[in-house]
Structure 1
Amino acid sequence: MLAGKRILLIIGGGIAAYKVLELIRLCRKAGAAVTPVMTAAAGEFVTPLSVSALAGEAVHAELFDLTSEAEMGHIQLSRVADLVVVAPATANLMARMAQGIADDLATTLLLATDTPVLIAPAMNVRMWEHPATQRNLATLAADGIAIAGPESGEMACGEYGPGRMAEPAAILAAIDAALGPKPLAGKTVLVTSGPTHEPIDPVRYIANRSSGAQGVAIARALRDLGAHVRFVTGPGEVPPPAGVELVRVETAREMRDAALAALPADAAVFAAAVADWRVENASGSKMKKDGTGRAPALEFAENPDILKTVSQLAEGRPPLVVGFAAETDDVIANATAKRARKGCDWILANDVSPATGIMGGSENAVTLITADGAEDWPRMGKDEVARRLALRIAQALAAD
């Protein structure tokens, strides 16, 4: 897969550095050569000996190592690789990259390179969500730097949320995508994601358990294959990926309007868990108990069917429209009927019964339903589901 490729791996100083040892092993197993560079802080978490033993090459760490400078100067070192990978990319390292600071070997190489760069961020959730980090992330994405992760999960500090470094297998897939062909280059894909929030009053709303993780993963996978992604998302828990055209919405009607405004597109993937109903008589003021023991009467109205609306457009319909069917009973039968009723090309059906742990979880098990029938996919991580779907979309668009 990566045979003959050379990766310059810059290891940042974070607890996630231990995962890099497995990443090196996977890269070499895939046929790539790995030249390791360690920051001073990285040595607090993994040893140069361990890194060197797995990479099969000496570790570079000092900018003013005269022997290394004589044999391979830092400018040459920055340009002999096919890809520069920074893992973990700490908040500090990302900040220095964004500002063009070159005060050690790692940042000097990053400033001097003309090679594509991929980062795998890793930090505490509060650091990741800080406006400064998000500004730096946006700067790096605008500079053309590819980004793998981060994921949401439990961290070494005991907190939970986004900021956990992507697993080595996911980073390897991102490396492969960065070095491989871009079959979706020049294509535009609309992706909807997350739940919608339908207000009851200014402080309450109707929602569902969707985290938005699958939609985010799909947008990221399509982006990695070269697509321009228009990402319309409700208020999901998982942060949107960098490098996409982001539109945030709250309600189903806002999502419909944003999806229509995002057309034309070559393909559309409707992964959002849109609320079926909204409160027709939502209050403009906070509802309060009146002491009678009676709950307020809520009147419901159907929300617009976004998948059906786009699938049945007379003009401007994307050549490929993909929907999701989150079911709890008779999954395949209900999803097959949904595909026919909505008029979309593909439906990805999944069982979201509480026992599956899929809704809001890190894995998914889907069945791809097309005009040719049903194709079961094994249970796998949502990133892998996204990569498989993105490749299928690329194949379908290439065949048209």
Structure 2
Amino acid sequence: MKNLHIVVYVTGGIAAYKSIIFVRELIKNGAEVKVVMTKMATSFVTPLTFRTISHNEVYYDEGRQLGIVEHVELSMWADIAIIIPATANVIGKLANGIADDFATTALLAMNCPRFLVPSMNDVMYENSAMQRNLQQLENDGYKVLEPSIGFLAEGYEAKGRMQEPEVVFKWLKANILQERVQDLIGKKVIVTAGHTVEEIDPVRYITNHSTGKMGYAVAREAVKRGADVILISGPTNLANDTGAKLISIKTTGQMYQIIKKYYETSDIVIMAAAVADYHVKTPAKQKIKKNENELVLRLEKNIDILNELGKEKKQQKLVGFAAETQDLIKNAQQKLVKKNLDMIVANDVSRKDIGFGTDDNEVTFIRPNKKIISSPKTDKNDISKMIFDLI
């Protein structure tokens, strides 16, 4: 469960109180949880309760202004979605593609593994329409946990009682081991990270502020999804905990030579490194002494790696990054076309709270002839997940 992003949907049944215990169990086991509530669910349990337990904002239609595309952002964030308890009403809506509130709209946008924990009266549960709806949801890919026989709110024992939170947790955990997305098995992925270094003299060099965090997060996500990953990295202070094969380089020229070696047989290439655009034409062999008030360096343009890869592209999906300080979308779109990319990830590096050296980022995904998608401010692991979801 550790580091899994789980969205818990709570609908309006008496068993809603049990979902508090379930959310607590997820968090105790290392998951990050966001809760979505239907309007009726807030009559049984307050959003404040879930906000306090999850340490995240709670999504619901009444009482808070929801963003225009928050249902899409939530779907991109989620690794797992579970509806607990799932009432007859929400089951019927989902089985028929009805999205008339935030919860059902967000569920319709989910493309991650989805789990359903029914809870209702026994007569409702056994109804042929309900059984037909459950079968349809299973056909659509939902995993359904059959309710137990127990004491119902109506005052008698019958089938329809929601399984206890600890039972649901064990069931979900067992299924997650089977459901983890490994959609890159058999794929070869190249990721570049960090900055490159161009020597001025034996002591000084030209470089930039990139720390490599974004590229390492991308490599880590690719490995999680089953890919064979080569991480080509400039100097960083990061440990290689990605599971990828690390090849360390210093200069832009060295990076290009390594990429060329693996490019032809690769399936996906993600150029997250911030490479130096210029090198010193004639680096000094000895340390330059500060004898003058000015030091003049003659710079030559480095090879444009991304441009060259775009020219040579065949089966590869080629993804670039655009670190901009102004005209973000315009500059990124021009780069996308000029360099023949399948996607460009644009971010505003003039902001101090995202981009170079930070754990968080806020980016815009631009693809040829497709809708532009903007991410919320989130950590770079989430951005990496979004990149591969879009690929």
In structure 1, the residue matched to 2:295 is 296
Deviations 1:173-194 (A, max 9, x none): 9x96886141100100110110
In structure 2, the residue matched to 1:233 is 233
1:273 aligned counterpart, secondary structure:
coil
TM-score normalised according to structure 2 size: 0.55
Preserved CA contact (<8 Å) 1:322 1:344: yes
RMSD: 2.9
User: Structure 2 vs 1, CA of residues 27 and 346 (structure 1 numbering), >3 Å: closer, same or farther?
Assistant: closer
1:229 aligned counterpart, secondary structure:
strand
The answer on 1:270 being equivalent to 2:274 is no
* One-letter amino acid matched to 1:278: H
The answer on 1:246 being equivalent to 2:246 is yes
User: Structure 2 vs 1, CA of residues 359 and 177 (structure 1 numbering), >3 Å: closer, same or farther?
Assistant: farther
In the alignment, the residues of structure 2 paired with residue 348 and residue 177 of structure 1 have an alpha-carbon distance, to the nearest angstrom, of 31
2:231 aligned counterpart, secondary structure:
strand
2:200 aligned counterpart, secondary structure:
strand
In structure 1, the residue matched to 2:360 is 363
CA apart distance, 1:356: 3.9
Preserved CA contact (<8 Å) 2:192 2:273: yes
Count the aligned residue pairs. 231
TM-score normalised according to structure 1 size: 0.53
1:309 aligned counterpart, secondary structure:
helix
In structure 2, the residue matched to 1:306 is 305
CA apart distance, 1:310: 0.7
The answer on 1:287 being equivalent to 2:291 is no
In the alignment, the residues of structure 2 paired with residue 182 and residue 332 of structure 1 have an alpha-carbon distance, to the nearest angstrom, of 32
In structure 1, the residue matched to 2:216 is 216
User: Structure 2 vs 1, CA of residues 177 and 390 (structure 1 numbering), >3 Å: closer, same or farther?
Assistant: farther
Preserved CA contact (<8 Å) 1:327 1:353: yes
In structure 1, the residue matched to 2:379 is 381
Alignment of 1:1-400 (within 5 A): 23-25=27-29, 27=31, 180-263=180-263, 264-290=265-291, 293-313=292-312, 317-371=314-368, 372-393=370-391
Deviations 1:120-160 (A, max 9, x none): xxxxxxxxxxxxxxxxxxxxxxxxxxxxxxxxxxxxxxxxx
In the alignment, the residues of structure 2 paired with residue 195 and residue 209 of structure 1 have an alpha-carbon distance, to the nearest angstrom, of 7
CA apart distance, 1:224: 0.2
Where does structure 1 lack aligned partners over 5 or more consecutive residues? 3-19, 31-53, 55-172, 394-400
Preserved CA contact (<8 Å) 2:219 2:242: no
In the alignment, the residues of structure 2 paired with residue 229 and residue 369 of structure 1 have an alpha-carbon distance, to the nearest angstrom, of 24
User: Structure 2 vs 1, CA of residues 375 and 203 (structure 1 numbering), >3 Å: closer, same or farther?
Assistant: same
Preserved CA contact (<8 Å) 1:219 1:241: no
Where does structure 2 lack aligned partners over 5 or more consecutive residues? 3-23, 35-52, 54-172
In the alignment, the residues of structure 2 paired with residue 23 and residue 183 of structure 1 have an alpha-carbon distance, to the nearest angstrom, of 26
In the alignment, the residues of structure 2 paired with residue 242 and residue 383 of structure 1 have an alpha-carbon distance, to the nearest angstrom, of 11
Preserved CA contact (<8 Å) 1:322 1:346: yes
User: Structure 2 vs 1, CA of residues 193 and 177 (structure 1 numbering), >3 Å: closer, same or farther?
Assistant: farther
User: Structure 2 vs 1, CA of residues 323 and 351 (structure 1 numbering), >3 Å: closer, same or farther?
Assistant: same
Deviations 1:206-241 (A, max 9, x none): 111101000000000000000000110001232233
Preserved CA contact (<8 Å) 1:275 1:303: yes
CA apart distance, 1:285: 1.1
In the alignment, the residues of structure 2 paired with residue 181 and residue 374 of structure 1 have an alpha-carbon distance, to the nearest angstrom, of 25
In the alignment, the residues of structure 2 paired with residue 368 and residue 179 of structure 1 have an alpha-carbon distance, to the nearest angstrom, of 27
* One-letter amino acid matched to 1:320: K
In the alignment, the residues of structure 2 paired with residue 242 and residue 197 of structure 1 have an alpha-carbon distance, to the nearest angstrom, of 23
* One-letter amino acid matched to 1:24: K
In the alignment, the residues of structure 1 paired with residue 358 and residue 224 of structure 2 have an alpha-carbon distance, to the nearest angstrom, of 23
In the alignment, the residues of structure 1 paired with residue 365 and residue 31 of structure 2 have an alpha-carbon distance, to the nearest angstrom, of 31
1:312 aligned counterpart, secondary structure:
helix
* One-letter amino acid matched to 1:272: A
Structure 1 residue runs of 4 or more that deviate by more than 6 Å after TM superposition: none
In the alignment, the residues of structure 2 paired with residue 28 and residue 278 of structure 1 have an alpha-carbon distance, to the nearest angstrom, of 44
In structure 2, the residue matched to 1:162 is none
* One-letter amino acid matched to 1:191: V
Preserved CA contact (<8 Å) 1:310 1:317: no
* One-letter amino acid matched to 2:280: V
CA apart distance, 1:344: 1.0
More displaced stretch, 260-269 vs 239-248: 239-248
CA apart distance, 1:246: 1.3
In the alignment, the residues of structure 2 paired with residue 378 and residue 357 of structure 1 have an alpha-carbon distance, to the nearest angstrom, of 11
Preserved CA contact (<8 Å) 1:184 1:225: yes
CA apart distance, 1:388: 1.7
Larger Rg computed on CA atoms: 2
In the alignment, the residues of structure 1 paired with residue 297 and residue 379 of structure 2 have an alpha-carbon distance, to the nearest angstrom, of 39
* One-letter amino acid matched to 2:321: F
User: Structure 2 vs 1, CA of residues 345 and 296 (structure 1 numbering), >3 Å: closer, same or farther?
Assistant: same
In structure 1, the residue matched to 2:83 is none
Preserved CA contact (<8 Å) 1:177 1:224: no
CA apart distance, 1:24: 2.4
2:254 aligned counterpart, secondary structure:
helix
1:287 aligned counterpart, secondary structure:
coil
User: Structure 2 vs 1, CA of residues 373 and 176 (structure 1 numbering), >3 Å: closer, same or farther?
Assistant: same
